[in-house]
Amino acid sequence: MPVLPILEYPDAKLRAKSERVGEFDEKLSNLVDSLFETMYACNGIGLAAPQVGIPVRIFVIDLGAQPGFSGRKHEFINPIIRHASGSISFEEGCLSVPGLGEFVNRNNSVTIDYQDRHGNQASLNAEGLLAVAIQHEFDHLEGILFIDRLSKLKRLFAKRKLRRQVTL
Ligand code: CO
């Protein structure tokens, strides 16, 4: 499976709303494998399909790349966050927004319904970092980046910093 190039801010494709997956075939399975491989190659703990320019509702997560967390491969297709509660603030980064880490407020606990690569329906209760990662990756499917979730002032500084990174 090939490692795919990751789109970076301010690429307009990161702003598109992704489409549901309809066909659970070998092509889909290969894409999910490529997402994992690309994520591991970049030392990320999560990656969504639109980040590699494919606007479909798929993301993968493996917390194992984060020190102190044990890993498990999670793949989410056509996910729906059915329940979200509590609050947590975690310093997030994003493979599509390199060089920036900011604290973002999220729900601490989520229940996500999704399909696996075979089309089987499943459900997962997640807390803490896994819940944060799910919400971060889910946002990518809606064209939302973590910098959009910062306070107005923090967003202004973040965008200024990113602009400098892009132009220098
Ligand atoms: Co991201």
CA of 137 to the centre of ligand 1 (A): 6
CA of 66 to the centre of ligand 1 (A): 15
Residues 115-142, mean pLDDT to the nearest whole number: 97
CA of 26 to the centre of ligand 1 (A): 26
What are the tens digits of pLDDT across the range 109-127? Answer: 999 999 999 999 999 999 9
What are the tens digits of pLDDT across the range 27-62? Answer: 999 999 999 999 999 989 999 999 999 999 999 999
Q: Which of 37, 75, 137, 142 is catalytic?
A: 137
pTM (two decimals) = 0.95
CA of 58 to the centre of ligand 1 (A): 13
The answer to whether 79 and 114 are in contact (CB under 8 A) is yes
Q: Which residues are in the CB-under-5-Å shell of ion ligand 1?
A: 94
Instruction: Count how many residues are written for the chain.
Output: 168
The answer to whether residue 137 is catalytic is yes
